[in-house]
Amino acid sequence: MWGGRFSEGPDAIMEEINASIDFDKKLYSQDIAGSKAHVAMLAHQDIVSGDDAKAIRDGLDKIQAEIEHGEFTFSRALEDIHMNVENRLADLLGPRAGRLHTARSRNDQVATDFRLWVRDSLDTLDGQLAQLQFAFVEKALEHAGVVMPGFTHLQSAQPVTFGHHMLAYVEMLGRDRSRLVDARKRMNESPLGCAALAGTSFPIDRHMTANALGFDRPTANSLDGVSDRDFALEALSGASICAMHLSRFAEELVIWSSAQFRFVTLSDKFSTGSSIMPQKRNPDAAELVRAKVGRIIGALNALLIVMKGLPLTYSKDMQEDKEQAFDALQNLSLCVAAMTGMVKDLEPNKKELKKAAGSGYSTATDLADWLVRTLDMPFRNAHHVTGSLVAMASERNIELHRLSLADMQSIEPSITEDVFSVLSVDKSVRSRLSYGGTAPQNVRKQAKRWLKILEKDLADQQ
């Protein structure tokens, strides 16, 4: 490729550290699309002839077909996907294949290819995340009134509904999708035509190539165009937050499906057994989702570290931008698919959930609220009275609603029989009617609102 300047070939170790074809061959489709857009523009601008442009486009189509049919031989000696494609094009067309590289560099070529790949990945993820939201919403609507314990510090706090818990993840995933959509908008500028770093003296039309590749506009500064990897960093940042959300639910599934909790049952499709213990049902899919967040966050950290000390514009360090990004976004896609399957098959164990919802004095806040609402007691006083009643129940090893009226009146004489009306978990959750609260009617309303949104999103994506 640069034989005119060098008299010797690279050392074997240099070839080993320099080659990227083992992973950047994933970019073949984007690389060929960029080349076709580029040569069409060159012909339109009379920089290359129409005949040469057509021959090059036909050759690129043949190369794409060879790759897709497994008939293409990738060479590590040619370093990367760009030179592998260009070399094969030269085999097919001879010297005129070299006209394709007029007015561009591998610097703007790889920046364009990588943007296209990340953009395609975000589009795929958006559709997958919408499907996962849909699965959560359907589960929420189906189980809007199922009572379960809500936790803080993993200690029983207040009763909530299973549907409300499902909708919490719908909200998280909605923010994840929003972040990825925002990242996509910012990345949707074309570096093609920035050439090595300074632009080109050829009369190219960068708006034409940007439009052909679905970009909103060309990048405005050639130095920034070839050196920017913010688009990958933003995508990995959004992916890391999303993976963290998936990991939180995966952790809950691991806990909930244990023999100690028995809150939910995972299907056989997403569980495994033990090689020695025949009774075991292991939530391996959830555990793997929980684990993969490490490699996704690691990819973000790795790219931040690669980029942090680079002067403008392109440095070979930036070859390390792709391998981990490929891995991270593909693994996130796999995690979303696995989580969607788990959520669809998930079955809450209603009796266990309700039993647990009433443990740990979970209606204590309802008692304190009753004291404020009925006896006009300042909340801090009500908190103290309720704490004393919980301490009494705890000493006797009974639930709060098992205390007699006389027991309660020994702490606060003004308490009446009506207090027992708020101490059941069902009445507790039904009372939480504030916007965003856990009341079943709230859950149904929010779930139906989300269904409309997601049905439209999924229809638009088809």
Whole-angstrom CA distances from 446 to 40, 166, 220, 322 are 50, 11, 43, 40
Catalytic (active-site) positions: 153, 274
Contact 171, 249 (CB under 8 A): no
Q: Are 193 and 138 in contact (CB under 8 A)?
A: no
Contact 427, 440 (CB under 8 A): no
Nearest-angstrom CA–CA distance, 59 and 72: 13
Q: Which residue has the tokens 């590289």?
A: 101
